[in-house]
């Protein structure tokens, strides 16, 4: 029995020392990306997962904000607010977005724990296009 416990302890120790858990922590919703993004900035593996998690969190916050504005802004409340005809569409978009966020975050955390770099499909491209658009607006 004690050999089994020592085996488990050594595996856990290797995981913490190897940093796999530190990279997987990045995918905790909203604030998990802060730890690897700022504390492990010199290591490209942690920085990669911290940046990707930050982009994923930023995307879900933007989607939520747009839906919230549609549902509760005085002009658009008539179309998208609670009890209106398009409210089920906005709720469906929100539920699908939240579900996709959870699936992608869980899968990316698993890949980070397995010490792999896995790009969430189209995330980097989408964020880069938005940043380029914002830069173009500033320069105009």
Cα dist. 136→10, 65, 122, 131, 139 in Å?
A: 52, 23, 21, 9, 5
Please give the chain's pLDDT, 140 residues, in tens: 677 777 766 665 555 555 577 778 888 887 887 777 677 777 888 888 888 988 999 999 999 999 999 888 888 888 888 888 888 999 999 999 999 999 999 999 999 888 888 898 899 898 889 888 888 888 87
**Whole-model pTM?**
0.77
DSSP assigned state of 28:
S
Domain locations along the chain: 20-139
pLDDT at 48: 87
Alpha helices in the chain (DSSP H): 2-18, 20-24, 34, 44-72, 77-80, 87-113, 123-139
Structure tokens at 64: 């939520």
pLDDT at 11: 63
Q: Over the range 113-132, which residues count as b (16 or more CB within 10 Å of their CB) and which as e?
A: beeeeeebeebeeebeeeee
């Amino acid at each position: 029995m004690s050999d089994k416990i020592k085996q488990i302890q050594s595996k856990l120790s290797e995981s913490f020392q190897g940093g796999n858990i530190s990279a997987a922590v990045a995918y905790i919703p909203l604030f998990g990306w802060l730890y690897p993004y700022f504390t492990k900035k010199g290591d490209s593996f942690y920085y990669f997962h911290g940046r990707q998690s930050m982009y994923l969190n930023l995307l879900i916050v933007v989607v939520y904000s747009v839906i919230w504005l549609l549902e509760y802004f005085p002009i658009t409340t008539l179309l998208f607010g609670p009890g209106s005809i398009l409210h089920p569409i906005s709720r469906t978009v929100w539920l699908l977005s939240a579900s996709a966020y959870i699936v992608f975050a869980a899968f990316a955390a698993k890949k980070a724990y397995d010490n792999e770099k896995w790009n969430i499909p189209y995330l980097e491209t989408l964020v880069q296009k938005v940043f380029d658009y914002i830069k173009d607006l500033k320069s105009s």
